[in-house]
Structure 1
């Protein structure tokens, strides 16, 4: 199969519903390289991959769990339809970001293939627990503990810090796009609507992503901060995601409510700060308030949030252990 060298992939979609269930590496001397670098495993071909099951469906394709026949290594294979010019540009953008990204906080892409049907397939790192959304669903939407959420927040903020420092905006942060493995690592996935900001005047105003997690300025830029700031929008989406994990349901609506677009827009733009249980700590309340400022200019940056007491005043080892205990019951074996 032909291997695509210089492209990337997308997810072009705008979803109304709430979700339910080659890196740039500096050269170094050979005597500094570990054996895994000097003797890398055989490069997979598409024909060497056996499909095991479907991991997920999307508007643009499916994600499959696959096994490399020669090594037994498990991967996630994401297929994308590239039959429209706009989709080809989005696919190219996603591949570009994956090729550039070199961070343990970003889901790794090991290869890109063209399929016999003309689609594009990304060979991705397999995150065996699934997403934060699927984990919350598997728990019967019982809220996560603050200790576990502190560990989650720190890891996602580190991922966003890496992306933002390289002028990459995700534009679709939500529980379903934050993947988890059995080691307790959380990694940012799905760069289908992401964008690299090349110039300061690039306002990045495309109406893409998941409506429920869009910031107020996506709907009404003039009322909520002037020009749309995609970096601040990622922070809003993170705040909603973290609060959802703490409450067990989407924060701006009643539990189980399935809204239309107008309901979502009104909830995002005009609702007050969601009520929280009395058991929620002051640090957590303040962290959420810094993320969910209606005016984008008042929202804290990712770097400021990384220094917030909710993140830094907790023992990282204990927080990480709390998250690992939370996922331990849902580890999968293949």
Structure 2
């Protein structure tokens, strides 16, 4: 067992057929209502749609006789950003490495948003790494599939440290809430601390609503500091989109490093494209070319 969450546990498994390591997420469906069971299947539905080198790959799923839903996914053998921060022991990361992680995460989130999906629980614990520092975005258990590009989500959900001001105020929110969480992640990797902290939830919410965070260490560039400030703007409309972030000049060397070989929908271009491939059709709310996701017993 390599992880435990509120909805299940993650187990490292080896396939008898190809001998590769995978992660099996086990979710107990026995005591769930029909609505809760549909919610548990949401992660399967989302993973089947998302196809991107910086997103944890879906392999298969099956329901066992014990009543558990088992989702088989790619194994990232380098841990996660949260573990990497803890193991840093107060020694700050090189800016180039931070931007490598950040750009890969942004490329993954652009694909998520192009597919008309909100992650809603972006945090350092959900950004996994391979042994060669390749980012693998994961944990889509509470992702929200929107019916149109203009639809706002209304459910207050996510991890408190990364909640956007609009979520704290119980206002409708959209993809810019994921941008805020991405800014919190970038701040955390840069400073090794949460951007907003409090002894209790009300105290934390007040700090988020004020939007003030401790300064970035002087060793980092003004470009990096300005990027964090833009992502953590209290006004959602003033935060950049994932596409706009990827077009920032000082990030281009890192973007060029990782953009090759990405799906067309997520490849960085000079203008924002609304074309989607293997994603949700925004106008109808239906899925285009959705994988069949056939149930099969794991080998």
User: What is the DSSP-based 3-state SS (H/G/I as helix, E as strand, rest coil) of the residue aligned with 1:209?
Assistant: coil
Determine the structure 2 residue equivalent to 1:76. 23
Aligned length, in residue pairs = 256
Distance 1:310 1:174, change over 3 A: farther
Q: 2:120 aligns with which of 168, 171, 178?
A: 171
**Distance in structure 2 (CA, Å) of the matches to 1:265 and 1:103:** 34
| Alignment root-mean-square deviation, CA | 1.9
Contact 1:150–1:310 under 8 Å retained in 2: no
Structure 1 position 317, deviation (Å):
5.4
Distance 1:206 1:145, change over 3 A: same
User: Where in structure 2 are the equivalents of 1:105-124 lying within 5 Å?
Assistant: 105-124=54-73
TM-score (norm 2): 0.80
**Distance in structure 2 (CA, Å) of the matches to 1:115 and 1:308:** 48
Determine the structure 2 residue equivalent to 1:241. 185
Moved more, 295-304 or 306-315: 306-315
Structure 1 position 200, deviation (Å):
4.8
Structure 1 position 142, deviation (Å):
3.1
Q: 1:183 aligns with which of 132, 136, 141?
A: 132
Contact 2:195–2:213 under 8 Å retained in 1: no
**Distance in structure 2 (CA, Å) of the matches to 1:65 and 1:140:** 27
Determine the structure 2 residue equivalent to 1:61. 8
**Distance in structure 2 (CA, Å) of the matches to 1:273 and 1:267:** 8
Q: Which deviations, in whole Å up to 9, do the C-alpha atoms of 1:148-184 show, x marking residues without a partner? A: 0111111011111111111011011110001100122
Determine the structure 2 residue equivalent to 1:260. 200
Contact 1:77–1:123 under 8 Å retained in 2: yes
Contact 2:211–2:234 under 8 Å retained in 1: no
Q: Which of these two proteins has the greater Rg computed from alpha carbons?
A: 1
TM-score (norm 1): 0.72
Structure 1 position 117, deviation (Å):
1.9
Structure 1 position 201, deviation (Å):
5.7
**Distance in structure 1 (CA, Å) of the matches to 2:59 and 2:126:** 18
Determine the structure 2 residue equivalent to 1:14. none
Contact 1:143–1:248 under 8 Å retained in 2: yes
Distance 1:131 1:314, change over 3 A: closer
Does residue 311 of the first structure (1) align with residue 255 of the second (2)?
A: no
Determine the structure 1 residue equivalent to 2:209. 269
User: Where in structure 2 are the equivalents of 1:152-231 lying within 5 Å?
Assistant: 152-200=101-149, 202-220=151-169, 228-231=172-175
**Distance in structure 2 (CA, Å) of the matches to 1:102 and 1:303:** 18
Does residue 279 of the first structure (1) align with residue 219 of the second (2)?
A: yes
Q: Which deviations, in whole Å up to 9, do the C-alpha atoms of 1:213-235 show, x marking residues without a partner? A: 010000115xxxxx533200000
Q: Which deviations, in whole Å up to 9, do the C-alpha atoms of 1:69-111 show, x marking residues without a partner? A: 3432101111112223332122222111111111112101101
Structure 1 position 315, deviation (Å):
8.6
